[in-house]
Structure 1
Amino acid sequence: MEQMMQVTVATLLPENSSTSSPFGPSTAPVSAEWDLITTTILPPCIFILSLSGLLFNTFVLAVFLIHKDRLTVAEIYLSNLALADFLLLCGLPFWAMSLLNNFDWPYGDALCKLVNSIILINFYTSIYTLVMISIDRYLALVKTMTAGWLRRTLYAKVACFVLWILGLLLSVPAMIHRQTIFNEENELTYCILNYDHGSFSKLTHQILLNLVGFILPVLIIVFSSGNIIRSLAQRRENMGFQDINDTKATVLVYSVTALFLLCWGPFQIFTFLDTLCDIQVLDEELWSHTLDIGTQVSAYIAVLNSTLNPLLYVFSGQYFRRKVSAIYRRNRNQRRGSDMTIYQRSVVSTYINRTDQIKAVVIQTFKQFFHDT
């Protein structure tokens, strides 16, 4: 077979299809030990990861939606990040069920394309949302006087919309090549990226993933962060104090960005190594097993980012905690007000009833008095 399909061992990796050894219809690149891990250990972990992440991100989105105050620019971007994470986690149960069924995909070609494209859309949307957050911090702390007019909520909402369109467009190539393939030998249907061996489309896609999806946004974030740190240091030297609110908001941004880099960085490295194998800089046969396992592990570390982000909002986000406290106090006061209203109505009703009874007794007494006289 001259052109062999590249099949990813993990159904959830739309970005990197050659990390497994290419195989024909009758071979499988999975060892007995790895098969035990993927069918016994990973599925329950994925279900727990998905459920907890969905609950956390739902909580974050609910806080932003329920709170009556107008969202700030930074909060609009953070809510956009939470929405992207929520959508990614919605696809995890499909991947877990596929692992349980020995990588069988019974959900059809449409869901194969949709579910496995969500990870790419989430990746691009998340990284460029972090870029916009860094730029917003840069404008707020470095260009306060000259570019403050750019920090408008309308612009932030438009930027979020553009980011979703960008993520969708960048995921189109993977969506096109993602297909369901039926293996007659074991009668299983696989959801795979159907790239020809040494495909230029695959090579272009991976270079785009590394450059546009990682290196370029990281450079922008590093530039913004460096200028922010320098500006805060100069402000502290000149004025002798530092705004604690600006510091805490900046710490939250840095924490979210650092978590993203730690979670997605390993996957980007293995994607780059796979590209080196495709252009024959590295020996593909020698690196094949390492890339199989490395891409598996790094992929799960990557999606872990979507579950951990909401925890950062809670522990590092001062304003987020204030919103939660305000919602709690408001609901508690409403319940108290409702209870007081019920009590007051009860008192008034009792008073009226007793007054009517007293009136009836008095009238009856007067009637009896005049009748006797």
Structure 2
Amino acid sequence: MSGNQSNTSEDHCFVDYSLFFTLVPPYIVIISVLGIIFNAFVLMVFCLHKKACTVAEIYLSNLAGADLAVVCCLPFWAEYVRKGFNWTFSESLCKVFSAVTSMNPFCSIYFLVLVNIDRYVALVHPLSHERICRPFYAKLGCLFVWVFGLVFALPKSMYSKLEFNPQSNLTYCLLDFTSPDQYLMYEVRAIIFRFIIPVIIILFCVVRIFQSLSNRLMEGLNPQRTEQKATTLILAVLLAFLICWVPFHVAKILDVLQYIDILKCHTILFIFQQVSMYFAFFNSVFNPILYIVIGKSFQNRTKEFFKQLTGNYLSEH
């Protein structure tokens, strides 16, 4: 997320940041506050409810955990931007921030991969669903995603450092790769593993899900109501993720092309890169809203959760 200060083509392209410094910090603070409240609430409903989570809910609760982690880091970025890209915190926090903001899009997209595979198996191979898609395997899959997300974020954490600029009297939290090839290798790998591969898997699952649903409707067979509701919510979460994150990844591709001088620096390109990055943050707020508005199962869980809390409070008093 610290692309503004990394070794990209923006280093040799003058940009006026004045409006950026004014508008971005309050926007990030709002996203942070709403994201922390909403995602913490979602995790409470999923994790503290007496009824065990379904496989899809395990994936969605981990997605909420990834969103909560990143919105907890955003206030530090808001302060960094507010001070004109002057990092007043420790280098360790700079490294942690870089790692978390790198893990979030990686873990989020792969939790969506897992939840779409679950819907695919449930609707396309229903006889295999109970055998393959069990809560234990879902938790194991989530653990693998977290571990791989951490491994994926390690290079960004390792190469993040503080650098003082005596001319501007500012301390930057930036990515400092030892060579341009390292930067290109990191960004290309990120585009492939964080965008191209998971999107291909998701698109395959979604196409097969729609084919299965349409075939059942043509045959006069309606899918089970619970399966249909779960699928609707998951597809809505997927659509929200793609709307918020596809522009960010497109901007990353354009940034690489700009870095290797295939594209020239242009104000419109810079604005697109910045808007796409901060628009991606909104996804961490949008997901819990979808659970509340569309997720009938989540709504029922919420009602039961509050009844559970009320019952516990009355029994204690």
Category of TM-score, reference length = shorter chain: over 0.9
Give the aligned residue type for 1:275. V
Q: Which residue of 2 aligns with 1:75?
A: 57
Which protein shows a greater Rg? 1
Partner of 1:246: 227
- Superimposed CA distance per residue, residues 249-298 of structure 1 (whole angstroms, 9 cap, x where no aligned partner): 1111111111111111111111111222233322x3xx243333222111
Alignment of structure 1 residues 9-28 onto 2, 5 Å: 12-13=1-2, 17-18=6-7, 21-22=10-11
Equivalent of 2:275 in 287, 291, 297: 297
* Corresponding position of 1:310: 288
- The change in CA–CA distance for 1:330 and 1:172 in structure 2 (over 3 A counts) is closer
**Corresponding residue to 1:54 among 27, 36, 41:** 36
User: Given that residues 15 and 174 in structure 1 are in contact (C-alpha distance below 8 angstroms), is that contact kept between their aligned partners in structure 2?
Assistant: no
- Equivalent in the alignment of 1:353: none
- In the alignment, is residue 137 of structure 1 matched against residue 126 of structure 2? no
SS of equivalent to 1:203 = helix
The number of aligned residues is 317
Q: Post-superposition shift, 1:208?
A: 1.2
Aligned twin of 1:363: none
| RMSD across aligned positions (CA) | 2.1
| Structure-2-length-normalised TM-score | 0.93
Conserved in 2, the CA contact under 8 Å of 1:20 and 1:292? no
Match of 2:304 in 1: 326
Residue pairs, 1:1-373, within 5 angstroms: 12-13=1-2, 17-18=6-7, 21-22=10-11, 29-31=14-16, 34-35=17-18, 37-195=19-177, 199-282=180-263, 284=264, 287-333=265-311
CA distance in 2, matches of 1:262, 1:155: 29
Percent identity (aligned): 37
Unaligned runs of 5+ in 1: 1-11, 340-373
SS at match of 1:192: strand
- Cα distance, 1:38–1:145 mapped onto 2, change above 3 Å: same
The letter for the 2-side match of 1:116 is S
Structure 2: 5+ residue stretches without partners = none
Asked if the contact 1:131–1:217 (Cα under 8 Å) also holds between the matched residues in 2, the reply is yes
In 1, distance between residues paired with 2:4 and 2:64? 22
Structure 1 residues 266 and 78: alpha-carbon distance in aligned structure 2, compared to 1, 3 A threshold: same
Deviations 1:176-199 (A, max 9, x none): 2211100112321111112367x1
Q: 1:192 to 1:16 in 2, by over 3 A?
A: closer
